[in-house]
Amino acid sequence: MKISDVLLLEAVADKEDKEQNVNDVIKELKQALNVCKLAKFKSESSNAKFYTGFFNSSFEETLTFGAWNQVYTTLLNEDAFCNNLCMFIAMWRPKDFKGMFQPIINEVESELRTTQNKVRLLSDAKALFSFMEQRFDSIANTVKAQVNDQETMTFLTTIKSVTTNFMMYFNKLLQDEVTEKTDPDDIVITVRGGPMEENVFKFESDVQEFFDLLEHADEWKANYMKESLNEGIVNKGKEAAKVIKVKSLKADRAFNDFVMSKVREIRRNRRNRRHAEIVGESLRINAYLKRILKALGLSVINPAIGVISFVVDTLIDEKTKAKDRKILIQQIQDELEIMDEKISIADRNGDEKGKIELMRGKQKLQREYQRITNFRYDPDKHR
């Protein structure tokens, strides 16, 4: 047998072992929570065991961040597990909350020292804690509809604080990493008017406002849901969970509508510009959008593609130089590769809803590629 074949078999075996480890952890946590339920959440040892494994992310075997990501996205996407988790939080609480989810943070920080793609790792870490924050918000509203004692509220508040703080922590690291890796020549837009020295490396105000909005999508949606949820009181647990889901969908639509209004505003503000000026700005905007697509989550997909469509509208004009059109085609090819990478991550994490949303976004991008090239996108030609 060739050495390459041996290495390939070892790699496959290693992958299968890691997948088995993740499945074992998921199974063990489900069983631990079921044991707690069978004991009506009155067994101190059973409750402590589940808490240590799930909330303290503690197992005998050290898991990679990717494994933890899969564990939590799988469990928190299962209604039966979340219903049992609601009862666990409502009926038991630990003596202290030290170390909640801390091993995940330690693992990410460890992997950051060796990975060649820090942006991807930090993006995934931020996305995980953003997802956990949203799922625990839903769980909290279900619990609050049934229980109203101070100790339970402290448990819920601690979970909220920890997931939010870790999400913001990784968001800051991500923004710092993106800033460090950014080539100013790739994203600079020169503002019209005023001394040249003051305007280099700045976006115009409407474009900057748009990018700021995308980069704070999670905060915008969280505030929207908070305001919406204050409109009425839900009494039943199941009804509360249903309301949270509906509000989340409404928040997605509201954010998309609001951001697209900003896109239309950008288009209106450029109606009387010289074509060459708009082309230069559009290409730099799209270069920055590529970074946003890579670093941020599902909330930015539709708005970002809306701007890409505007960029295509600009460069599809016959006055556009061939070299500028070629730059845009390469940018869209890069963006399609980013979408493929995100689809693969969603598939590995078992995130079917996210995968479907990303595939829709990819189809929209493919249509923009076809508009600017007059050819269907063939990924095999660009590998």
Residues 159 and 235 in one domain: no
**For helices 44-54 and 3-38, what crossing angle results, to 10°?**
140
Residues 153 and 237 in one domain: no
Tokens 């590998």, located at residue: 383
Residues 235 and 284 in one domain: yes
pLDDT average, residue stretch 208-236: 64
User: Using CA atoms, how far apart are residues 246 and 138, in angstroms rounded to an integer?
Assistant: 11
Q: Please, where are the H alpha helices in 92-117? A: 102-112
Nearest in space to 315 (alpha carbons), one of 302, 331, 303: 331
Is there a contact between 120 and 294 (Cβ–Cβ < 8 Å)? yes
Residue 188 covered by a domain: no
Nearest in space to 40 (alpha carbons), one of 90, 97, 95: 90
Burial group, residue 50, by CB count within 10 angstroms (0-12, 13-18, 19+): buried
Long-range contacts at 247-254 (CB < 8 A, ≥ 24 apart): 248/134, 248/138, 248/221, 250/224, 251/221, 251/224, 251/225, 252/221, 252/299, 254/224
175 Cβ partners below 8 Å, 6+ apart? Answer: 215
What is the four-CA torsion angle of 313, 314, 318, 323, rounded to 10 degrees?
A: -120
Burial group, residue 220, by CB count within 10 angstroms (0-12, 13-18, 19+): middle
Indicate yes or no: pTM above 0.85.
Answer: no
Residues 143 and 292 in one domain: no
Give the domain-ending residue among 135, 156, 181. Answer: 181
Residue range 247-270, pLDDT digits in tens: 667 777 787 788 778 878 877 776
**Does residue 63 sit in helix, strand or coil?**
coil
Residue range 303-352, pLDDT digits in tens: 777 778 877 877 777 777 788 778 888 888 888 888 888 888 777 767 77
Residues 172 and 74 in one domain: yes
Residue 346 covered by a domain: yes
Residue range 200-220, pLDDT digits in tens: 335 677 777 777 777 777 667
**Does residue 276 sit in helix, strand or coil?**
helix
Residue 186 covered by a domain: no
Residues 38 and 66 in one domain: yes
Residue 228 covered by a domain: yes
**Domain range spanning residue 233?**
196-382
Give the domain-ending residue among 152, 181, 210. Answer: 181
Residues 153 and 203 in one domain: no
The type of residue at 32 is A
Residues 135 and 244 in one domain: no
The pLDDT assigned to 124 comes to: 87
Give the domain-ending residue among 151, 181, 211. Answer: 181
Number of domain units in the chain: 2
Residues 56 and 157 in one domain: yes
> Is 135's pLDDT higher than 90?
no
**Does residue 83 sit in helix, strand or coil?**
helix
Residues 157 and 259 in one domain: no
